[in-house]
Every structure is written in structure tokens, then in C-alpha cells.
Amino acid sequence: MRFHFLKALFLSASTAALTAVAAAQSVPPITLDIHLDQVKAHSSPLLYGLMTEEINHSYDGGLYAELISNRTFHPNDSWRSPVERWSLVELGNSKASFAPDKTTGPSTALPYSLKLTVDQASAAAPAGIANAGYWGIPVRPLITYSGSLYAKSVADSGPIHIALVNNDTGLEAAHADLPALSSEWKQYHFTLTTGLIQASSLYRFEITASHPGTYWFSLASLFPPTYHDRLNGNRIDIMDRLAAMHPAFLRFPGGNYLEGNTIAERFEWKNTIGSLVDRPTHLSPWGYRSSDGLGLLEFLEWCEDLHMQPVLAVYAGYSLQGQHVNPGPDLASYVEDALDEIQYVTGDTSTKWGAERAKDGHPQPFALKYVEIGNEDEFDKSGTYDGRFAQFDKTIKAQYPDLQLIATAPVTSVKPDVLDEHYYRMPQEFFNDVHHYDNTDRSGPKIFVGEWATLEGTPTPDFGAALSDSAWMTGLERNSDIVIMAAYAPLFVNINSEAMQWAPDLIGYNALESYGSPSYYAQVMFSTHHGDEIPQTQETGNAPKFYYSVTRQSQTGEVYLKLVNAGSDPQSVAVTLDGAKSIDKLATVVALSAKTPAATNSIEHPNNIHPVESGFKSAGRNFIYTVPPYSIQVLQLKTN
């Protein structure tokens, strides 16, 4: 089971410590009267999901397990080195130089390479190039890494040595030798197996030659074992953290990353499929080049691995610096491109793009219900979104009447199925607005809160942010008949300062380790304790920093009472449950608490704040429960 790490955290708590029965009442109690036989509404099973894009090195240097940075030796992004992220290795008295070569490469997509000229080298004093990975290459004991490299050389240049080399000692943790290279571009495969070393990211990846000569390299790749052993797959620790969230959907590929700074730099899905050597890479709006190794099929396989529904965002003719495509004939090719993309996802192998997907290794079509048209199109001041959305809507619905289309800004010429709304706010703004959706018109469109987060904490949110996140989530959950999906954003951050463009972010990591923020644990708690019915509930009393929601699982009768006390005093709650045949006295409590809102988790202290499970023995039809200060709690009540 992959959920063990969370379970272990839950169980590490002393039961007594969290049996919060004390009736300390320094603020007046509030009452919650819950009528289990009166279902006010049904809660969306898709409520809790993920939003993702390439930002903060979310994929390259993050989830995507590739260890080599600038693996294609792209020549245009260089400012610290002739080829960014690659450096020269000259051991002993060897002499060499390297430079980008835009005249030769292994494919049309990669028509360039790195040219290494070795003037002097020997077995004792080789020369070559080194890659520092994404702020280090994580090397662990007794692991086999799978590598590959496109290369060629002029005749008689000699064999190539590949190694993981410790930055401090210069010692190799693992190595492999390639035969003398051919004079034509060819892909070479190798494995690197480590022994009983200490895990560390203070390693570099070296490609060296022991003979003078001229060598060209492209697409150098190295993968550790991946989640579900997928080729070209994802980092296991980060996938484990996502799996623990039980996410129902994945919104991809953005966000701004979908739009690009310019139309030319948009997410062009056709450039992200097929063999890696056929993916040209592209510049993302977050200031760095994306390898596109995590492309359309990899997004879908990520969904498959975590049993998530894809929420596919298609480029809709607007890019961040203001370029737009007018609706009408100008937009037609973009709409066609979206239709091709939908066919790549859903078509069987008799279709053009379904066959292409099969060629890429996935004959089975993916189920798709939601397609989002663009991203944050309220920023398009040309006023064309209404027309653009209508054109996508008409054309897509004509072929795929069952698809639900999501608009990213209000439109009037057609009624969208779903509207995507984004909220990045300070804690108090969320506290003040927890009733935001209480009076929303239930006749639609449905609401997708496609990005939201409390802006407090860096690189990841602190406990104060988790409190206001949770307060906001109680409002989403109470209204989850109309708010059908919601996703915290951004999801990931590589915590190296050079890697981050946006804070706070839900999950942090470096090359070797990852951790969940307090907000991450709040998400896990909310998502894994979520029923399908919202019972009628009356709240009386006035507690300015207290928030709640109640759902009930119709099949099991289990009631999830979420209680958030964002204040500095304990808050007592008098709970009455009626409309059930029986209610167990013993309830399970899952609690996330801290001494101050400023408390947080970090890469050094990943478990400072984590959910703790305990028992509460005085539940039943009527009980008083006291929520400690600064605490997010779920009471799980067994009812029949």
C-alpha cells in the first residue's frame, strides 16, 4: 500500500492527547443541529482534485523523474554556460572545450547538439561534460538508474565513460561504458547501479572521453525507478503524497502554461507526444524551458495511476502578453486542434489520433467528461472570449454532445456547463467570504473553483493559511451541489530559490526529499472524509472564527463533521444529531493543530504539523465537543 506514510503519522499520536472532551468554554458555545434524514443537497463526488502546470519546476525538477536538466542541450537559453546547466570536465592534464552546435542533431525536433572537442585526454585524465541535475542529482544506495544518450563522433574517437560522481570526493557511485561511437547519430542505452553508498544529492552526471577527438551529444537522460515502474514516469515520493489526497480529477496543462506568453509559446500538445527525440521542447511563461517529457499522454497516465478524471484544458486563442485570435475563420484551426486533442484522448484506434495514441503505447482510450476552454480569459481585453467560447462550444458539442465545457470567464452568447473561478486571497478575505456560494443560483452554470489558495507562507503555506483554507473549504463543501470541483494551486514547488516563481505552494521538495505543507494535510483530511449527502443543519450562536461543514456517506451512514477553530480560544460546540436509528458513542477524531498560525512544515521539519488520529468517547445524539484553538478537526460519527 502506498498510503503507509500518512497512516504512520496518524497513528503516531497519543490517543489521550486528542480526546478533546474538555468542556473549557472561554467563548460562548455554538450549537449545530444536524438533521440526518433531511438531505439538503448532494455533494459532488469530484469536489477535491488537483490543478497542475509547469511552474516552480513542477515537472522538470519535480514530479517528472528525469534527473538531467537541459537534457537536449538546448542552445538558446544559455547565460551561465555555453550550454545551460552543462559544464566542462578536464581531469589531470586533459584539455577540451564544448559549444552548442546548431548544424547537427538527432531529429527534426532536435536539430542542434553539444559539440565536445577533446584535444588531450587519457584513461587517467579524461575530459568531457557534466550536468548538475535539478539542483543536484539524487543518488541512493542499491538503485539501478536507466539512462540513454544520443551521440556521434568523428572516426577513431574512442569509447565514452558515463558516471555519477560525488561533488565533494570526486568518487564515482556508479558508472557505465559506451562503445566507440558511430559517426552517425545513434541512441545508446546504459544502466548505472549504485552500491552501499549514503543517499545524497551532491552528485553530478558526467560524460567523459579518454581519447582526443570530436563528439556530439543530444538527449542525455537518466531515470531512477518511477511510480508504477512507468517508462518516462514520475517520482515515487511525490506520487505517494498525491495518492494520499485521493484526488478525483486533474486539471491540466494550466494555468498560464496552457496560454504561453505568446501564441507561438502556447502549450502545443502535438509537440508533447511521441518519442522524446521528436519533442522540440518549449519556453514556458514561467521563465524556463520545458522538456515536454511530461506531455499529453503522460498527463493522462498520471490520471490513470491515481484514478483521477482528466479535466483537459485546450488552448483557446489568447496568450498572456495580450495576443489573441479573433473568433471566426481565424480561430478555426485552433478549434480543429482541440478536436484532434479530444480524439487523441478519447478516440478508438480506428481514428487518426486514437491510432497515434496507440502508437505512443496506449491503445485504450481515456474517459473524458470535462474540457476547459482556455484559462483566465477575463484578462483578454479585446472582448473576444464570448465569441471564442461560443465557437469552441458549437463545434465541440456537435461532435461530442456529452462533453461538459468549462468557461474561464462569464459569457453570455451561450450558457456554459461550468464556470471556472479563481481565488488567491489573504486569510482574512477567505474567513470573511466562507458564505460566498450560499446563495448562488442553482440553475447553473455549475462552478469549478479551478485555482484557489490562501496567500500566506513561503515556499509553502503556514498553519494560518491552512486554517483559512479549511474555513474556505467548509463553504465549498456546504455548497458542493453547485461547486462541483475545486483545486488548490499551485500544487508543487521545488524549494531551491532559483526554481520558484510563486509562493505558497502545496507540496515542497528538493532533489532528494519532499514534504506536505499544513495546507496539504488539510486537503488530505477534507478529501478523505467526504460524504455524498449534505444534511440540513442549523447553526446558532456567534463564533467569529469558527467554521463547519457536515456530509454523510449514504451507503455507510458515516457522518463527517468538519470543525475549524481559527481563533486563539477553545470553542465549544453543542451538537445534536437526529434522523438516524442509532449513533455510536465512540467517534474517530482526526486533528491538525498548531500552537500558532505561524507554525509550519519545511524540508528540514516535514512533520512538524501533521494529522493525528484519536477517539472521542462521548458522541451520540447530543454531545458537547470542544475544539482547541488553532485546530482543524474531522469527527467521524458512525450512524445507522
**Which parts of this chain interact with ligand AHR (CB under 6 A)?**
53, 55, 254-256, 375-376, 451, 489-490, 502
**Nearest approach, Cβ of residue 21 and ligand AHR (Å):** 41
CB of 309 to ligand AHR, least distance (A): 20
Residue 372 beta carbon to ligand AHR: minimum distance, rounded to whole angstroms? 11
- CB of 451 or CB of 462, closer to ligand AHR: 451
Which of residues 244 and 500 has its CB atom nearest to ligand AHR in the complex?
Answer: 500
Residues near 258 by beta carbon (within 8 Å), at least 6 away in sequence: 53, 266, 267, 313, 314, 315, 374, 375
C-beta closer to ligand AHR: residue 426 or 598: 426
**Chain centroid, CA 432 distance in Å:** 28
Nearer Cβ to ligand AHR (55/403): 55
Burial 515-534 (b: 16+ CB within 10 A, else e): bbbbbbbbbbbbbbbbbebb
CB of 50 to ligand AHR, least distance (A): 12
Give dist(CA 173, CA 166) in Å, integer.
Answer: 7
Nearer to ligand AHR, 188 or 379 (CB): 379
Residue 142: strand, helix, or coil: coil
Angstrom distance (rounded) from CA 399 to CA 234: 34
State the Cα–Cα distance between residues 287 and 489, nearest whole angstrom: 18
C-beta of 90 vs 259, nearer to ligand AHR: 259
The one-letter code for the residue type at 522 is A
Least distance (Å) from ligand AHR to the CB of residue 491?
9
User: From the CB of 380, what's the least distance to ligand AHR, in Å?
Assistant: 13
Whichever of 372 and 462 has its CB closer to ligand AHR, that residue is 372
Residue closer to ligand AHR, measured from CB, 25 or 321: 321
Residue with Cβ nearer ligand AHR (301 or 420): 420
Cis peptide bond prior to 255, omega within 30° of 0 = yes
Q: How far is the CB of 154 from ligand AHR (least distance, A)?
A: 46
Distance (Å, whole) CA 596 – CA 169: 43
Q: What does the alpha-carbon distance between residue 36 and residue 639 come to, in Å, rounded to a whole number? A: 9
Shortest reach from residue 301's CB to ligand AHR, in Å: 23
Smallest gap from residue 254 Cβ to ligand AHR (A): 6
Residue 96 or 489: the one with the smaller Cβ distance to ligand AHR is 489
DSSP string, 439-471: T--TTS-EEEEEEEEE--SSSS--HHHHHHHHH
Residue 170 half-sphere exposure toward CB, CA atoms < 13 A: 4
| 30-42 vs 571-578, strand pairing mode | parallel
Residue holding cell 483521477?
308
Grid coordinates standing for 195?
A: 552500491
C-alpha cell at 185: 547519430
CA distance linking residue 600 with residue 608, whole number of Å: 7
90: three-class secondary structure by DSSP: strand
CB nearer to ligand AHR: pick between 239 and 489: 489
- Name the residue nearer to ligand AHR (CB basis): 53 or 456: 53
Lookup: cell for 93: 592534464
Minimum Å gap between C-beta 427 and ligand AHR is 18
Maximum distance among all Cα pairs of the chain, rounded to whole angstroms: 86
**Minimum separation from the CB atom of position 65 to ligand AHR (A):** 23
Using Cβ positions, the residue closest to ligand AHR within the complex turns out to be: 255
Minimal distance in Å, beta carbon 450 to ligand AHR?
8
Instruction: Tell me the torsion sign for CA atoms 300, 301, 302, 308.
Output: positive
d(CA 611, CA 599): 14
Distance CA 575, CA 554 (A): 20
172-178 and 160-166: which strand pairing? Answer: antiparallel
